[in-house]
Amino acid sequence: MKIKLPEDVKNIIDTLEEHGFEAYAVGGCVRDSILGKDPADWDITTSAKPEQVKALFKSTIDTGIQHGTVTVLLHHVGYEVTTYRIDGEYEDGRHPKEVLFTPNLLEDLKRRDFTINAMAYNDSHGLVDEFDGIGDLERGIIRCVGDPKQRFTEDALRMMRAVRFAAQLGFEIEEATREAARELAPTLAKVSAERIQVELVKLLLSDHPHLMRDLYELGLTAVFLPEWDLCMVTEQHTIHHAYTVGEHTIRVLGNVPADRVLRLSALLHDIAKPECKTTDAEGNDHFDGHPVRGKEMAREILRRLKFDNDTMKRVQTFVRYHDERPELDERAIRWALSEIGADAFPELFTLKRADTLGQSEYMRREKLEAIDRFEAIYQEIMERKDPLTMKDLAVNGQDLMALGVERGPVLGETLKRLLAHVLDNPEENTRERLLEITRGELL
Give backbone dihedrals phi and psi of 122, rounded to 5 degrees, phi first. Answer: -145, 170
> Rule CB under 6 A: is residue 264 a binding residue for ligand ATP?
no
The residue type of 300 is E
**Which residue's CB is nearer to ligand ATP, number 49 or number 94?**
94
Residue 93's closest CA among 223, 205, 287? 223
Among the listed residues 248, 235, 247, 335, the one whose alpha carbon sits nearest the alpha carbon of residue 285: 235
Per CB under 6 A, 28 contacts ligand ATP: yes
Partnered with residue 268 across adjacent β-strands are none
346: preceding bond cis by omega (within 30 degrees): yes
Stretch that binds ligand ATP, among 55-63, 70-78, 111-119, 316-324 (CB under 6 A): 111-119
Is 78 a binder of ligand ATP (CB under 6 A)? no
- Per CB under 6 A, the segment of 51-59, 112-120, 238-246, 391-399 that binds ligand ATP is 112-120
**Whole-number Å distance between alpha carbons of 437 and 100:** 77
Among 34, 48, 112, 378, binds ligand ATP (CB under 6 A): 112
Which run of H or E residues covers position 62?
strand 60-64
Size of the site for ligand ATP (CB under 6 A): 11
**What is the per-residue binding string for ligand ATP in 139-158, x denoting contact by CB under 6 A?**
----------------x-xx
Please report whether residue 68 would count as binding ligand ATP according to CB under 6 A. no
Told to check if 78 binds Mg ion by CB under 5 A, we report no
Q: Give 406's DSSP letter.
A: P
Residue number, 82 or 122, with CB nearest to Mg ion: 82
Binders of ligand ATP among residues 155 to 174 (CB under 6 A) are 155, 157-158
Stretch that binds ligand ATP, among 1-9, 113-121, 343-351, 379-387 (CB under 6 A): 113-121
Residue 391 host element (H or E): none
Q: What angle do CA 278, 284, 285 make, to 5 degrees?
A: 35
Helices 290-304, 309-321: crossing angle, 10 deg rounding: 160
Residue from the set 9, 16, 27, 271 that interacts with ligand ATP by CB under 6 A: 27
Instruction: Work out whether 40 is an interface residue with ligand ATP (CB under 6 A).
Output: yes
Name the residue whose CB lies closest to ligand ATP. Answer: 28
Q: Does 28 bind Mg ion (CB under 5 A)?
A: yes
CA–CA distance, 310 with 315 (Å, rounded to integer) = 9
Binding residues for Mg ion, rule: CB under 5 A, are 28
